[in-house]
Each structure stands twice: as structure tokens, then as C-alpha cells.
């Protein structure tokens, strides 16, 4: 007897049912089982469940079923905190819509040329998924009209509030008819979310899925204390020492994934990257290679790694301590599956210790510290594993011809031990790391910032209607750094200043150079030191 809900219990259309099957979903996740019937019944719903529990489809499925494709107007909007998420949610919707090609979904987010979005909007779309900032832009330009919207989703509502999007959300909701259905999804339910629910929802139903098992008992966890600039070498040592078959390395931002992947590949490892901006076909290729064992190391962001389902991952390395405590649990859950053992190593920079303690507290675990493996640890380990292979080769036999050549060649002036050691050394040198050129770090020496911070100049200001929340929203949204980490902001008529913690400065600089704030190029530059 099976009392669990099935997708067939939801009276779904043939098309959606088939899409769900194509996607390989066998049964609704717990949050889907709870939320879908309520949403179908037209209720306002507030739903809380940890990341990776299928919240997107929980609102996606009932929304899609409600769209009338014969009307060419926006009937649902999904607000989410970052472009990565907007893209990811739009992808999940597109997958659900493969058999309903008449329903059009459009992701809108900053950093993408606005013309493309304008063209798509003019042609008529049914579902818009985007960050509050960019949706506001479209509302101001009157390129997006919300008067026919029947459903609004606030996804990752906690993170949106964290990033200062509250006012934008409010302004957007004002333009949606009162009769709408409002759905709120969040991993956590702090008071501000409850306030939002009170303010914008009509007799909401609360559904919540408790955390399942928080840690994976089969996973052996440890951490290594390491400075940022030592991370790459430490990573190579850890990998060389443990020699994992399949490893996932997590970084906190897409940018860091790209950077690290380049360096790891340059050192000769069979590694590939996976992040939210990649096309589905690229991801499929990477995941295929990983499953087949053609790639040993996957370097990924949290968002991209969601939904990765690969057995036999024997090692997870947190190259960065995750921003969100739940991500930690989620990351290490990638290994030690199905009763197999796995290892999880977390790199902890001095600034990350509070986060580490928070993780230990939350997951009720004590994570032991281990040293950075030394070169001789690595050499010893590899020698041992090579000796094992040598023994096996001797057992297999067929060495006579080689023995004769070596005997003739050495004429007894070398001991067999010497020869063996030299062969091992040769083998090691071949596989060992070639030196890699140092990353050209930008100097942010004297920018007039508070200690530990870097002050940046931005070529946008009051004249461009820029407010502090726009700066926080843009930087946090584009780079993935926590909104709270952003320091003092000063806005003048035609320019502004913002302070960023040193450790994020180079990421923020390189990423924001290519982005916009309120549709203006940021013109970001390190600020000049203030003369006193
Ligand atoms: P959340 O928003 O809760 O963090 P997502 O909606 O991003 O989680 O879903 C995480 C992954 O799980 C996605 O790859 C999604 O396709 C997959 N997924 C969602 N629902 C199911 C299901 N019922 N069965 C299997 N996989 C699912
Ligand atoms: Mg989600």
C-alpha cells in the first residue's frame, strides 16, 4: 500500500503530466504534495522548505495549468532575487512546457540587453520571471503591463528582502489586481517574511516541510584552515592525497567557479565547470562526462549543483564556506549516498570561522580540523598506491622480456630498489603540478575605505535615480555576495561610492564592470584615497 501522493492525484493536463514524466519526476516532493492542491484551489499559499526540495515545480505546475494561451497578455509573474535564479526558474518552466509550446515564458534580469526583452514582451508573453529591479524598469518604461496578472510568486522571499528589494516588491504588487493569487516561497520564515505575508496575502495557508536528516552520516567531514591565496595549492594537495574518483568542488559565485576551473584544468586535472548561466546542452554534456567518469572533478555553484543526481561522488570540497548554512548540508549530501562512504572537506579562511561555528551549531555536528596535506603526505600516499599497482602487475606476470632487458642494460651497477624508486619519481613528476602563473591580483591599496574594506567609485548617482537599495540589489544580485556584507554607501549627484569587504573586492570589480545599475553602466573603479 502506498499512501504517498502521486502526480496523477492532481488532475493534471496530459501535456503537463507528460512533461513531468520526461523530466524524470516519479512522485511529488513533500512540498509539492502539500502546496499544489492548495494553489490549484486558488488559495494564497506561504510555503517553507529547504533548498532543493522542488519549490519551483510546486508553483510552476499549477501556474502553467491556469494560463490561457489564446490571450496574449502576462498572466503570471515570478519575482526572484538573482539572475541565476531567474534563468533557472525559467528553465524549469520551459521543461514543464515542452508539450505546450504556445505558452511563452520570459526571464528578465539586469545585465541582459534590454532590447531583446522589449522585443519579446511586444510579441506577447504569458509568464514573466525576473528580479524586482528589472521588472520595475519595465514597469517604468510601460513595456510590461500587469493588469491581467492572476498569480504572483515571491520566490526565495527571504533572500529578496535581504537584498533590499522590499520597496520594489511593494510597488510591483500595487500594479497587480487585488483579486490575484499571491504565493510566497522561502527557505526560512523570519518575522519580515511573516509581515510581508500579512500585508500582501489574503487568508494564506501556511505549509512547511521540516528539515529531513540534516547531515549524511556516511560522510566524513573535516575542515582545513587556509588563506585565500593558499586555497588552490591546498586543493591540489587534497585531491592528490585522496585521489577521488568523482569529486565536486563548490564555490560561492559563478565567477569563482570559472576562475577556479581554469586554474584546475591548467594543472592537468580532468575538471569541468557547471554554473547557472550555462546552456542546458552544455550542462548535459558536462554531466554526461561526469557520469561516465570522463571528468573526475566538477566545479559548481550551489544553484547549478541543485538537482545533480550522481551516485558514487566520493568527495565534496567546499572551496568557499557556503553563504547559507543550509547549503552546507545540501552540498555534503552530494556524497556518502546509498550507504557508500564519502568525504567532505571545507576550506575555512579566517573570516569564515563564525560561519563554520554556525554550521556546526545548526547541523549539531563538530567538524574536526585537519592540516593542509604536505607534499610528503601526498608523495607517500601516491607511492603506496603505486606500489599496490606494482604488486598487481607482478602478480599478473608476463615480465620476463623486461627483466632480461633491464638485466642486460644495468650490468649490476644499480640496485633494484634504486631502479624502482627512480621509476616512481619519474612517474610522479609526470603527473605532478606544473607551476601556474600567479593570478594578476588588482591592487586595492588606498581607496579611502574603512579597515578591511575597499571603496569603489560608481559613475551613477542621484541624477540616475539611484538609491542605496539599487546599489545593494545590483551588487548582491550580480555577484552573489550577501547584501549585508556591503558597507557604507554614499550617493552624490552624478556618482556614488560603495565599500565592499576586501575578500570580495576583486570579484565585485570584475563582475560589475560588465553590468548596469538602473540601466546605467556602473563605470566602477577603485576609489582614490581620501586626503586628510
Ligand atoms: P528549490 O526551489 O526548493 O530549492 P528546485 O525547484 O530548484 O528546488 O528543485 C531542485 C531540483 O529538483 C530541480 O532539478 C528539479 O528539477 C528537481 N525536482 C523538482 N521536483 C522534483 C520531483 N518531484 N522529483 C524529482 N526531482 C524534482
Ligand atoms: Mg527555489
Give the DSSP per-residue string, 29-66: -HHHHHHHHHHHTT--EEEE--TTS-HHHHHHHHHHHH
Q: Is 94 in the pocket of ligand 1 (CB under 6 A)?
A: no
- Angle between helices 254-266 and 502-512 in degrees, nearest 10: 100
Q: Is 131 in the pocket of ligand 1 (CB under 6 A)?
A: no
* Cα angle for residues 85, 457, 496 (degrees, 5° grid): 85
Structure confidence at residue 532 (pLDDT):
43
Q: How far is the CA of 44 from the centre of ligand 1 (A)?
A: 21
Structure confidence at residue 436 (pLDDT):
33
Q: Name the residue with cell 519526476.
A: 25
Structure confidence at residue 2 (pLDDT):
44
DSSP state of 202: S
DSSP state of 404: H
What's phi and psi for 481, nearest 5 deg?
-80, 150
3-class secondary structure, 359:
helix
**33 vs 72: CA distance, rounded Å:** 31
Q: Is 307 in the pocket of ligand 1 (CB under 6 A)?
A: yes
Strand 496-501 relative to strand 453-458, pairing: antiparallel
Q: Which residues of the chain have pLDDT under 70?
A: 1-3, 210-218, 307, 309, 336-340, 428-443, 530-532
Q: Is 48 in the pocket of ligand 1 (CB under 6 A)?
A: no
Structure confidence at residue 339 (pLDDT):
56
Structure confidence at residue 247 (pLDDT):
94
**323 vs 332: CA distance, rounded Å:** 14
14 with 173: CB under 8 angstroms? no
Q: Is 322 in the pocket of ligand 1 (CB under 6 A)?
A: no
Q: How far is the CA of 400 from the centre of ligand 1 (A)?
A: 58
Q: How far is the CA of 55 from the centre of ligand 1 (A)?
A: 7
Q: How far is the CA of 157 from the centre of ligand 2 (A)?
A: 10
**Closest-approaching ligand to the CA atom of 276:** 1
Report residue 119 CA to chain centroid gap: 29
Ligand 1 site-directed mutation target among 54, 208, 301, 306, most atoms within 8 Å of CB: 54
Q: How far is the CA of 428 from the centre of ligand 1 (A)?
A: 43
Q: Return the H-helix or E-strand segment holding 197.
A: helix 191-200
Q: Whose alpha carbon is nearest atom 10 of ligand 1?
A: 52
**Which residues have a Cβ under 8 Å from the Cβ of 247 and sit 6 or more positions away?**
239, 296, 297, 298, 313, 314, 315, 316, 317
Q: How far is the CA of 59 from the centre of ligand 1 (A)?
A: 11
Structure confidence at residue 396 (pLDDT):
85
478 with 517: CB under 8 angstroms? no
Q: Whose alpha carbon is nearest atom 22 of ligand 1?
A: 25
Structure confidence at residue 450 (pLDDT):
87
pTM value > 0.75: no
Structure confidence at residue 217 (pLDDT):
55
Q: Whose alpha carbon is nearest atom 20 of ligand 1?
A: 54
Structure confidence at residue 67 (pLDDT):
97
Q: Name the residue with cell 491581467.
A: 148
Q: How far is the CA of 47 from the centre of ligand 2 (A)?
A: 11
Structure confidence at residue 211 (pLDDT):
55
**314 vs 310: CA distance, rounded Å:** 10
Ligand 1 site-directed mutation target among 57, 62, 98, 283, most atoms within 8 Å of CB: 57
3-class secondary structure, 428:
helix
Burial of 494 (0-12, 13-18, 19+ CB in 10 A): exposed
Amino acid at each position: 500500500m502506498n499512501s504517498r501522493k502521486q502526480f496523477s492525484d492532481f488532475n493534471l493536463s496530459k501535456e503537463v503530466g507528460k512533461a513531468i514524466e520526461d523530466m524524470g519526476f516519479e512522485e511529488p516532493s513533500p512540498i509539492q504534495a502539500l502546496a499544489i492542491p492548495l494553489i490549484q484551489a486558488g488559495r494564497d499559499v506561504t510555503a517553507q522548505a529547504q533548498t532543493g526540495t522542488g519549490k519551483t515545480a510546486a508553483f510552476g505546475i499549477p501556474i502553467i495549468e491556469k494560463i490561457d494561451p489564446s490571450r496574449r497578455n502576462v498572466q503570471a509573474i515570478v519575482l526572484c532575487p538573482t539572475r541565476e535564479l531567474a534563468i533557472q526558474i525559467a528553465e524549469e518552466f520551459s521543461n514543464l512546457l515542452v508539450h505546450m509550446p504556445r505558452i511563452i515564458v520570459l526571464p528578465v534580469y539586469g545585465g541582459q540587453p534590454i532590447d531583446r526583452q522589449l522585443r519579446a514582451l511586444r510579441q506577447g508573453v504569458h509568464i514573466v520571471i525576473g528580479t524586482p529591479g528589472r521588472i520595475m524598469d519595465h514597469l517604468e518604461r510601460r513595456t510590461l503591463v500587469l493588469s491581467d496578472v492572476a498569480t504572483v510568486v515571491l520566490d526565495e522571499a527571504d533572500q529578496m528582502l535581504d537584498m533590499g528589494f522590499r520597496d520594489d516588491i511593494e510597488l510591483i504588487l500595487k500594479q497587480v489586481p487585488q483579486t490575484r493569487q499571491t504565493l510566497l516561497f522561502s527557505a526560512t520564515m523570519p518575522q519580515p517574511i511573516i509581515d510581508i505575508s500579512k500585508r500582501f496575502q489574503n487568508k494564506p495557508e501556511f505549509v512547511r516541510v521540516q528539515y529531513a536528516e540534516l547531515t549524511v552520516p556516511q560522510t566524513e567531514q573535516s575542515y582545513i584552515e587556509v588563506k585565500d591565496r593558499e586555497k588552490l595549492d591546498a586543493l591540489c594537495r587534497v585531491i592528490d592525497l585522496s585521489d577521488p574518483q568523482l569529486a565536486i568542488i563548490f564555490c560561492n559565485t559563478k565567477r569563482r567557479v570559472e576562475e577556479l576551473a581554469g586554474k584546475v584544468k591548467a594543472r592537468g586535472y580532468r575538471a569541468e565547470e557547471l554554473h547557472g548561466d550555462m546552456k542546458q546542452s552544455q550542462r548535459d554534456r558536462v554531466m554526461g562526462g561526469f557520469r561516465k567518469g570522463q571528468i573526475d572533478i566538477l566545479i559548481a555553484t550551489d544553484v547549478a549543483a541543485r538537482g545533480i543526481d550522481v551516485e558514487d561522488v566520493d568527495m565534496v570540497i567546499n572551496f568557499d564556506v557556503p553563504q547559507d548554512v543550509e547549503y552546507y548540508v545540501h552540498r555534503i549530501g552530494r556524497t556518502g549516498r546509498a550507504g557508500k562512504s564519502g568525504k567532505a572537506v571545507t576550506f575555512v579562511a579566517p573570516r569564515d570561522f563564525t560561519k563554520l561555528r554556525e554550521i556546526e551549531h545548526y547541523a549539531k555536528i563538530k567538524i574536526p580540523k585537519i592540516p593542509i596535506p604536505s607534499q610528503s603526505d601526498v608523495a607517500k600516499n601516491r607511492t603506496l598506491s603505486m606500489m599496490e599497482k606494482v604488486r598487481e602487475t607482478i602478480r599478473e606476470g608476463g615480465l620476463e622480456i623486461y627483466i632480461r632487458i633491464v638485466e642486460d642494460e644495468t650490468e649490476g651497477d644499480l640496485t633494484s630498489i634504486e631502479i624502482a624508486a627512480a621509476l616512481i619519481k619519474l612517474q610522479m613528476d609526470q603527473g605532478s603540478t606544473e607551476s601556474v602563473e600567479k593570478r594578476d591580483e588588482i591592487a586595492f591599496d588606498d581607496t579611502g575605505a574603512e579597515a578591511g574594506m575597499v571603496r569603489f567609485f560608481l559613475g551613477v548617482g542621484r541624477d540616475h535615480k539611484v538609491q542605496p537599495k539599487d546599489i545593494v540589489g545590483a551588487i548582491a544580485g550580480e555577484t552573489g555576495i550577501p547584501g549585508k556584507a556591503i558597507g557604507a554607501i554614499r550617493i552624490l549627484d552624478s556618482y556614488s561610492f560603495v565599500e565592499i569587504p576586501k575578500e570580495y573586492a576583486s570579484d565585485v570589480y570584475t563582475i560589475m564592470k560588465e553590468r548596469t545599475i538602473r540601466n546605467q553602466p556602473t563605470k566602477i573603479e577603485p576609489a582614490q584615497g581620501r586626503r586628510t
